[in-house]
Amino acid sequence: MSRKVDVVVVGGGITGNAILFQLAKYDLRCVLLEKEPDIASGTTKSNSAIIHAGFDAKPGTMKARMNVRGNKLYHELKDELNLDIQWKGSLVAATTDEEMDSIRDLLERGKVNGVDGLEIWSGDRVRQDEQYLSPEIQGALWAPSAGICCPFGTAIAFAENAELNGAEIIRECEVQGFDVKDGRITAVRTDGETFETRYVVNAAGLRADEISRLAGDDSFTIHPRKGEYVLFDREASKKMTQGVIFPTPSKTSKGILVCTTLDGNVFVGPNAQDMDDKDDTAVTTEGMDQILSAAKKLLPEIPVRAAIAEFAGLRAIASTGDFVLGRSEKVAGLIQAAGIQSPGLTSAPAIGEYIADIIVEETGAAPRQNYHKGRPPRYIFRNMDSAQRAKVITKDERYGRIICRCETVTEGEIVDAIHRPCGARTVDGVKRRTRAGMGRCQGGFCGPRVTQILARELQIPITEVRKEARDSYMFYDKDWETTSGGKA
């Protein structure tokens, strides 16, 4: 089966969804293809969640340009899309004279990149705000325009708005090849449909080089760089930091930082390990020791016993040393959005704008009539006062049933997360949208109930409920596997 569209976006991470969000502002038929059951299930879900100010990237690079523009766009989009962002600013701490020289260089680089408000603080000034930091810190670079966000929540916001404006997101749809005629892409072949199209945007993350080669462009490669993290209990985090604290960066990494999250949990990490395996997200004892040892240079008293989770993410490192953005020089109609490592999260809306401008310029597409700003409203029970809670329970009694005790997440919120545009289909999809399972018990209490609600609302047997990936079934049923071909 085949059908015609104007643009196919390959990849459902934050970059792909930001591109879809920008394209949906125009009169274009757009489809996003994601091979997994949910969007934002790769690098997007496992990163530091920081909206960078833009002082670190080398002036003149795409990273610098997209970072600064992306930061500005997030300030504009926060209210429009109801994004979870806190503009906390960030500090780059120096503990030696040499590191002090480095942060002065970062100050000058930031000015060249167009970052406003940068200042050098003394060690004493830093500790006025961050009393638990090391007395060895001599000074820091302060960047007030930096912030923290929810990366997968932001990707979901882009997706919800795009679908509201007629774009389509097709999950569990893996690209298998392309049709190219006279040097131009004419179709995308998947394990389901074939899409006849004029443009393909390659936002496939770690697999972007593979997708590019399938289309006939082998001009770059991607290798994975793993970063491991340790997350701490919210109560213990109160005596760590409520801000964003970087060490002085190295040539390959911004370093192992100490950072709060939107919900008050502090994490430390990531390290940087160049890998061969694009699927290896395992944490290691050696990695955890490295992270904790490095973080103690910033924060001497780390409550190791208060750690509640360890996880790892993979960054897509391009052979070019920069983002790979724009028209392919080898295949007409192929638009690259590849090699999106840090500051990729910050750059996402600017990358979307940049790619959309290319396609609009070539097609002459008009702005979409009756374009809908924002996305459907949602209730966040833990943030409501008693009167607000009573009102919403009167409308829907499911908001009166707490499913996740750690994070105060109700049945009503979970049901809404399943049925919203680009709704949750997996246990982790519910977790990312509602925080059910993100608390101290890490889903030990609410996990079975979330599984039941998913089966009920999706109208599937409970044996078909998955944790996250295509084959991550929560339960084993020999008869079901035999009759329907499922995998336990």
pLDDT per position as a tens digit, 237-282: 999 999 999 999 876 667 899 999 998 999 999 999 999 999 999 9
pLDDT band at 487 (very low <50, low <70, confident <90, very high): very low
Dihedral, CA atoms, 145, 150, 152, 158, nearest 10 degrees? -60
CA distance 11 to 78: 23
Q: Supply the DSSP symbol for 249.
A: P
Among the listed residues 52, 223, 372, 419, the single catalytic one is 52
pLDDT per position as a tens digit, 398-434: 999 999 999 999 999 999 999 999 999 999 999 999 9
Per-residue pLDDT for 323 more than 60?
yes
Per-residue pLDDT for 482 more than 50?
no
Residue range 387-397: average pLDDT? 96
Which has more confidence, 444 or 282? 282
pLDDT of residue 479: 56
Which of 3.50.50.60, 3.30.70.100, 3.40.640.10, 3.40.50.720 would CATH assign to domain 2-44+151-221+320-363? 3.50.50.60
Q: Is the peptide bond before 421 cis (omega within 30 degrees of 0)?
A: no
Q: Are strands 273-274 and 222-232 parallel, antiparallel or unpaired?
A: antiparallel
pLDDT band at 484 (very low <50, low <70, confident <90, very high): very low
Domains in the chain: boundaries = 2-44+151-221+320-363, 86-145+225-315, 381-484
- Left, alpha or beta for 442 (phi > 0: left; psi -120 to 50: alpha)? left
Per-residue pLDDT for 6 more than 90?
yes
CA distance 70 to 93: 24
Helical axes 447-458 vs 411-419, angle rounded to 10°: 40
pLDDT per position as a tens digit, 354-382: 999 999 999 999 999 999 999 999 999 99
Domain 86-145+225-315: CATH class, spelled out? alpha beta
Question: Which residue bears the tokens 């999809």?
Answer: 429
CA distance 254 to 322: 15
Structure tokens at 274: 């160049």
HSE of 299 in the Cβ direction (CA atoms, 13 Å)? 29
**Whose CA is closest to 272, among 284, 292, 256?**
256
pLDDT of residue 251: 66
Q: Please tell me the pTM assigned to this model.
A: 0.94
Residue 416 makes CB contacts below 8 A (sequence gap 6+) with 378, 379
Q: Which long-range contacts (CB under 8 A, 24 or more apart) does 186-192 make?
A: 186/333, 187/2, 188/8, 188/10, 188/33, 190/33, 192/1
pLDDT per position as a tens digit, 125-144: 999 999 999 999 999 999 99
pLDDT of residue 264: 92
Q: Is 223 a catalytic residue?
A: no
Q: Which backbone phi and psi does 32 adopt, to 5 degrees?
A: -110, 135
pLDDT band at 483 (very low <50, low <70, confident <90, very high): very low
pLDDT of residue 477: 61
**Whose CA is closest to 197, among 185, 180, 211?**
185
CA distance 168 to 22: 13
CA distances (Å), origin 464, targets 94, 227, 268, 479: 52, 32, 35, 12
- Left, alpha or beta for 89 (phi > 0: left; psi -120 to 50: alpha)? left
